[in-house]
Amino acid sequence: MAGVLLPSPSFSSISAPIKSTSLSSQAYVLSIAPLSTHYAASASAPSNTIDLFDKITFVGAQTLPGHEEGTTSLRCVDKIANISRPVLVSSGMDGSIKVWDERTNSHSIKMTNLVAGGTQLQGEDAHIVYWDPRQPAAPLRTHSSTHSDDVTVLRFSPDSENLLMSASTDGLISTSTADEEDEDEAVLHVGAWNCSVSQAGWIHSSSGAKVWASSDMETFSTWTDELDLLQSQDIRGPSLHNHAQYEWLTDYLITCHSSTATPCLKVFAGSNQGDIALLSNPNLAAPAAPWSLCNTWTNAHTGIVRSLLWDEQNELMVTGGEDGKINVWKCPEPTQADDGAMDVDPSPSRKRDMDWEEDEHEEKRARR
C-alpha cells in the first residue's frame, strides 16, 4: 500500500538556484563529491572526465582525465595510504580505482582492484575485492560467492569500520566482516528483495530501520540491521495534489541522505521535468506511515537529475543532470517539525517561493 504524502508545516519551494554552471564536456553529470575547497563532478561517456569547481565562485577550476571507461563513483576521503589530507577517489568501468592529486592533474595511486570494490559479473562470479592502499599491487583478499551478479553498492558501516554492506543486481543485500579471510565466515546477514538493487545505504537512526535500498524499478525498501525487510513500496506512490502550490508527483528516486547530524533519512526524489523534492518519513519501519513533503526545488534542470550532494555544513545542495548542468541551491536542515506532516488543507495565501528572492541576495542514475 502506498504511503500518504502530506506537506510539512514548514514546506518551502525554491524556483531558482544560487549558482549554475555546466560540465566542460556538456555530458551527463553522473556523480558529485565535496572536497575542502572544490566540488568534483564526473561526466558520462565519451568524455569520462572529472571537473572541479570552486565552492565559492563555482567557476571551473580544473579538469581531471578521469577513467578510460565510465566513472562509476566519486568519493572524498579524509586520508588514504600515506596521504593525510582530504583527497578525491574515483572508480571506473576500466577496472581501476584512482586517488587523485589535483596539484599535478593526475592520480597519485591507481588501484587495479579496491579498498573495497565490487565488480560486474565475471563469468560465473561477481567479486568483492579488498586491499591495503599502502600496497595496492595485489588485493588482500577476494570474496566471490557473496553475490551472483553485478555488485552495485558497497558501503562501510558508520559504526564499525570492518562491517561492509553490499548489494547487487541479484536482488540480495548482504553485510560482511571485511577483515575475515574465509568468505563463508565473513557473511553475517543476507536480505533477499527479489529485484535488482541499484542504490542502498545505512540509516543513522535509533529506530528499527537501519538500511535503505532502491531498485531499478523505483521501489524503495527499509531493513533492520539483520536485514529483515520492514517495508517495500513504489517510491512513486506517495503523491500530493491538495493545491497547485503543493502538488508533487515522484517519477524516480535520486538518492537518500542520513548522517549523525540528520539521523532521520532524507529521501530526494525527482520528476521527469527536472524538479526535485525532499521527502521524509519518521517511521520507516511502518509501511503505512505518512510521508512528509519538506521542500521542492524547481525550474533549473531540463530532464532527469542524476546526481545530488547535500552539503550539510554549508546548508547547500548541489545537483547534476542529464542536461549537463550543475546547480547550487539553498538547502537548510529541515526543522524537527518536518519529520511530521500537517493534515489540514494548506492556506491558499502561502507564497510558493517563501520569499526566496530576498534570501537569494544573502547569498537511473542513468534512466534505464
- pLDDT value of position 366: 40
The rounded distance, in Å, linking the Cα atoms of 71 and 203 is: 26
- pLDDT value of position 229: 96
Largest CA distance in the chain: 64
Domain count, the chain: 1
Whether the ω angle into residue 282 lies within 30 degrees of 0, i.e. cis, is no
Number of H helices, E strands in the chain: 2, 28
Which residue reads 514546506 in cell numbers? 11
Residue 67 lies in a domain: yes
Q: Answer yes or no: is pLDDT of 129 > 80.
A: yes
Which residue reads 551478479 in cell numbers? 149
Task: Give the C-alpha distances (Å, rounded to integers) separating 60 from 56, 57, 72.
Answer: 11, 9, 22
Residue 356 lies in a domain: no
The rounded distance, in Å, linking the Cα atoms of 220 and 84 is: 37
Average pLDDT (135-155) is: 87
| 322 pLDDT tier (thresholds 50, 70, 90) | very high
Strand partners of residue 273: none
Average pLDDT (12-21) is: 93
Assigned C-alpha cell, 305:
537529475
Residue 352 lies in a domain: no
| 237 pLDDT tier (thresholds 50, 70, 90) | confident
Q: What is the pLDDT of residues 187-206, one digit of tens each?
A: 999 999 989 999 999 998 76
Average pLDDT (122-136) is: 81
- pLDDT value of position 288: 83
Residue 74 lies in a domain: yes
The rounded distance, in Å, linking the Cα atoms of 5 and 239 is: 5
Q: Answer yes or no: is pLDDT of 8 > 60.
A: yes
The rounded distance, in Å, linking the Cα atoms of 182 and 281 is: 39
Q: What is the pLDDT of residues 28-55, one digit of tens each?
A: 999 999 988 899 999 998 888 899 999 9
The rounded distance, in Å, linking the Cα atoms of 4 and 108 is: 49
Q: Answer yes or no: is pLDDT of 355 > 60.
A: no
Residue 239 lies in a domain: yes
Identify the top-confidence range among 97-111, 168-182, 232-246.
168-182
The rounded distance, in Å, linking the Cα atoms of 302 and 93 is: 27
- 246 φ/ψ sector (left φ>0, alpha ψ -120 to 50, else beta): alpha
Q: Which residues contact 52 (CB under 8 A, 6 or more apart)?
A: 35, 38, 39, 40, 60, 61, 62, 63, 64, 102
Name the residue range of residue 85's domain.
5-335
- pLDDT value of position 356: 29
The per-residue pLDDT of the chain, averaged, comes to 82
The rounded distance, in Å, linking the Cα atoms of 329 and 307 is: 14
Residue 364 lies in a domain: no
Residue 365 lies in a domain: no
- Say what percent of the chain tops pLDDT 90: 43
Residues 110-143 as b/e (b if ≥16 CB within 10 A, e otherwise) read ebebbbbbbbebeeeebbbbbbebeebeebeeeb
- pLDDT value of position 98: 85
Residue 344 lies in a domain: no
The rounded distance, in Å, linking the Cα atoms of 45 and 110 is: 20
Average pLDDT (268-294) is: 91
Q: Answer yes or no: is pLDDT of 368 > 50.
A: no
The rounded distance, in Å, linking the Cα atoms of 357 and 353 is: 8
- pLDDT value of position 351: 30
Give 260-297 as a 3 state SS string.
Answer: CCCCCCEEEEECCCCCEEEEECCCCCCCCCCEEEEEEE
Strands 316-321, 29-34: pairing is: unpaired
The CATH number of residue 313's host domain is: 2.130.10.10
Q: Answer yes or no: is pLDDT of 113 > 70.
A: no
